[in-house]
A and B are shown apart, each in its own frame.
Chain A
Amino acid sequence: MTERSRLDELVNKRVVLITGKGGVGRSVMTAALAKLAAKRGKRVLVTEVGDEGDDYSPLARHWNRERLPKHPEPLETNIHGAVLLARTGQELFLKSVLRSGTIARAALSSDALRRLLSAGPSFREMGVFFQLLMALREKTGTNPTHELILIDMPATGHTLSLTGLPELLLKLVPGGPIAAALKEGQTYLNDPKLAAAWIVTLPETLPVSECLELIDGLKKTKMPVGGVVVNRMPADPFTRAEREALAPLVDQHAWLGRELFKKPIVAHRELARLRSHTALPLFVTPELPHEGLIASLTTLLDDANPLPMPSGGA
């Protein structure tokens, strides 16, 4: 199977987690994938894991909003958006279990319970997890309301807490409504036909090392990994002869431009290292101008276009 068709498969899932460390272009990639899937006629819900006090969302920015709404609202044709908040999820969950909104709200406004729920990251993840489950369950007629749910995941640690949540909590709470919700969630998240995590990384030393660690971590939590997007692959403007002639001069004089001169070499070395350590599909996207970034990425990811391959390098 080609890498292109693996990427294509992504839009046919029910839930896709976009993960990777900060600053690698995760939100941009999430937005581009949402637009691509919408263009193919999928009803998409684009989400991110948020915090109560957040005043800024890098993802919402792509739809000219300060932040995403608490409950799904249309952002553009075929795309809804919502932020996944622990508290919203906990409230939804308590409502469904206690079958009364009043008691659920009273329970959540209890100082003791509120503190408990906000202190335990597992309770927070549980809220997020449940909100996601509700979105997965939602139906319009007999069809899922949101055919594809894309989640822009926060830092990698949080991703592993969320994907590892069912197993951790099921050990602690083997029965009851939480267990039932967790098991239902597992039927989606642990099924490679329905779910995938895609890791966004950069062709640099530390991001590649962290990406490899994350692949292992996700596998341990039974989360199927769809593949890796290697973002911002630098183009190499130099010919081989130019490189060989310039390399000693650049070092000798410590000229400005030295780091960018070496960047494509490092990038190709790191891409090769990633390839040699994982059999997962890798999708390489080039460095693109800031202007119209989402549009160019969406076009790039679309299979109507040839697979982009960075030129040059060692």
Chain B
Amino acid sequence: MSDVRVGELLRTKKVIVCCGAGGVGKTTTAAAISIAAARAGRRVLVLTIDPSRRLAETLGVSRNPTDPVRIPKDRSDAAGITTGSLDAWMLDIKLVSDGAVRRLVKSEADAQRILTNRIYQQVSTMVAGMHEYTAMEALHRLVHAGQYDLVVLDTPPSRNALDFLEAPKRLSGLVDSRAISAFLPKSDSLVARTASRVIEKILGAVFGHEFAHEFVTFIATFTSIFQSLNVDVNEMRRFLSGDDVAFLLVSSPAPAALTEASFFHDKTRELSLPFRAFVLNRSHATDAGRPMPTVPQDASEAVRSGLPKLAGLAEIEKAAAVRDLTLLGELQKRAGQGATAIALPDLPQGADDVSTLVTVAEALASS
């Protein structure tokens, strides 16, 4: 058994990154972790991209504000937060990337030129890796601002839990100087000049010449920004591999969960990121201790006729509980010494009220 405890992580770490494929309840888990830490008296921020309308409603915050917002007092009271505090920021990609441009560019005139470039306006939201980059950028800045004890990051939804780790690399790969220089009209070598003419010709044939020209100009304007971006991605990697950070993988008890978990585990190790826990969400593992239905003493006829049917359903749930317990055991084995695996219950109603989130938060705090 490992000595890592999730309850301890949320009381001591400065950053908790929740990773996981789309649709496993990652946002709900991130919100519950944040509530648990705030209940323990910490000043907490939960950072999430593209959340469901429902979670924003549950926490009582608007979507896409320009800065983090404190959750309203009635929610905070309902969540049992007393000395701690909980802020939430439902990030808007465009707002954050505009902010990044302003910080990276020296003069306001340059910033304006970029922000009004129509290619930028599209690219800022459509380039793969921008969501992930944006989240990392905001995380980095807010952690260093020092107004929070803990920042919980709910990574952007994706098909694959690893996208969050890979996407910024893809972005920095794109802006790698070798790739960029091929687009640039000015270059010393004849080969490079020829290559860039060929590329512009192809782009012209494909996109139309007006767009191709604008595109090449755009790339040229952006080279400096892209290069500082590149540096930042590496800097963020270093920051995320620190001791104050914990990575969690949220998964659901699907057959693929185990494969995904070991893949993720290997990947974080390879990147020297501090992986700390598997969270098996929507699991029935915690049901294993619940009793089977029994005939009560003064059972009515309806109870007597209904009970055998209920017993059948109970058998199905029992089998699910056993299956999920086995899976949890496998995950714990895989987690090894430096990490752990915990199970969170399946919430039949979805996380549509604060009290449901508090139930999960309590389970997390004591795990």
Q: Which of A's residues lie within 8 Å of B, judged by CB?
A: 21-23, 51, 93-94, 97-98, 103, 107, 110-113, 115-116, 118-122, 124, 154-155, 157, 168, 171-179, 204-206, 209-210, 213, 237-239, 241-246, 249-250, 253-263, 266
Contacts of A174 in B (CB 8 A): 208
Contacts of B170 in A (CB 8 A): 118-119
Check B305 against A205 for contact (C-beta < 8 Å): no
Supposing A22-B23, A97-B205, A157-B157 touch, asked if A260 and B313 sit within 8 A by C-beta, the answer is: yes
Contacts of B252 in A (CB 8 A): 23
Q: List 17 contacting pairs A-B, 8 Å CB cutoff, sorted by A.
A: A23-B23, A103-B202, A113-B199, A113-B202, A115-B176, A116-B174, A119-B173, A121-B128, A122-B122, A155-B23, A176-B207, A178-B208, A237-B312, A245-B306, A256-B292, A256-B318, A257-B313
| Residue among A21, A113, A119, A173 facing the most chain B CB atoms (10 A cut-off) | A119
Alpha-carbon distance A157/B50, docked complex (angstroms): 10
Contacts of A115 in B (CB 8 A): 173-174, 176, 179
Contacts of A103 in B (CB 8 A): 202
* B302 beta carbon closer than 8 Å to chain A: yes
Alpha-carbon distance A104/B230, docked complex (angstroms): 30
Instruction: Please give me the 5 A-B residue pairs with the lowest Cβ-Cβ distance, nearest first.
Output: A176-B208, A242-B306, A257-B314, A112-B182, A245-B302
Contacts of A249 in B (CB 8 A): 293, 296, 303
* Closest residue on chain B to residue A247 by CB atoms: B306
B interface size (C-beta, 8 A) = 66
* B317 beta carbon closer than 8 Å to chain A: yes
When each residue 40-66 of chain B gets 1 if its CB lies under 8 Å from chain A and 0 otherwise, what string results?
Answer: 000000000000111000000000000
Alpha-carbon distance A179/B206, docked complex (angstroms): 9
Check B207 against A178 for contact (C-beta < 8 Å): yes
A269 to B: closest C-beta gap in Å? 10
Alpha-carbon distance A244/B301, docked complex (angstroms): 12
- Name 20 extra pairs, CB < 8 A, besides A120-B127, A266-B348: A23-B23, A97-B206, A103-B202, A107-B202, A110-B195, A111-B182, A113-B202, A115-B173, A155-B157, A168-B122, A206-B350, A242-B309, A243-B306, A245-B302, A253-B294, A254-B291, A256-B290, A257-B311, A258-B290, A261-B313
* B211 beta carbon closer than 8 Å to chain A: yes
When each residue 171-200 of chain B gets 1 if its CB lies under 8 Å from chain A and 0 otherwise, what string results?
Answer: 101101011101100000000000100010
Contacts of B315 in A (CB 8 A): 257
Check B207 against A173 for contact (C-beta < 8 Å): yes
* B349 beta carbon closer than 8 Å to chain A: yes
B35 to A: closest C-beta gap in Å? 19
Check A255 against B54 for contact (C-beta < 8 Å): no
B192 to A: closest C-beta gap in Å? 11
Kindly identify which residue among B118, B178, B310 contacts A250, using a CB–CB cutoff of 8 Å: B310
Contacts of B313 in A (CB 8 A): 256-257, 260-261
Interface residues of B in 101-152 (CB under 8 A from A): 118-119, 122-123, 126-129
Check B317 against A178 for contact (C-beta < 8 Å): no
Check A253 against B293 for contact (C-beta < 8 Å): yes
Alpha-carbon distance A118/B129, docked complex (angstroms): 11
Alpha-carbon distance A266/B350, docked complex (angstroms): 11
A293 to B: closest C-beta gap in Å? 16
Supposing A173-B211, A255-B293 touch, asked if A245 and B303 sit within 8 A by C-beta, the answer is: yes
Supposing A157-B157, A254-B290, A266-B348 touch, asked if A119 and B254 sit within 8 A by C-beta, the answer is: no
Contacts of B292 in A (CB 8 A): 255-257
Check B211 against A121 for contact (C-beta < 8 Å): no
Interface residues of B in 335-355 (CB under 8 A from A): 346, 348-350, 352
Supposing A242-B302, A261-B310 touch, asked if A98 and B296 sit within 8 A by C-beta, the answer is: no
* B83 beta carbon closer than 8 Å to chain A: no
Supposing A122-B126, A255-B292 touch, asked if A205 and B206 sit within 8 A by C-beta, the answer is: no
Alpha-carbon distance A246/B305, docked complex (angstroms): 10
Kindly identify which residue among A23, A111, A155, A204 contacts B179, using a CB–CB cutoff of 8 Å: A111
Check B310 against A246 for contact (C-beta < 8 Å): yes
Contacts of B254 in A (CB 8 A): 23
* B366 beta carbon closer than 8 Å to chain A: no
* Closest residue on chain B to residue A242 by CB atoms: B306
B27 to A: closest C-beta gap in Å? 11
Check A255 against B128 for contact (C-beta < 8 Å): no
Alpha-carbon distance A238/B310, docked complex (angstroms): 9
Supposing A241-B302, A262-B348 touch, asked if A172 and B118 sit within 8 A by C-beta, the answer is: yes
When each residue 266-308 of chain B gets 1 if its CB lies under 8 Å from chain A and 0 otherwise, what string results?
Answer: 0000000000000000000001001111101000101101110
Contacts of A210 in B (CB 8 A): 52
Contacts of A120 in B (CB 8 A): 123, 126-128
Check A259 against B346 for contact (C-beta < 8 Å): yes
Contacts of A154 in B (CB 8 A): 159
Contacts of B128 in A (CB 8 A): 118-121, 124
Kindly identify which residue among B159, B318, B346 contacts A155, using a CB–CB cutoff of 8 Å: B159
Contacts of B346 in A (CB 8 A): 259
Check A179 against B208 for contact (C-beta < 8 Å): yes
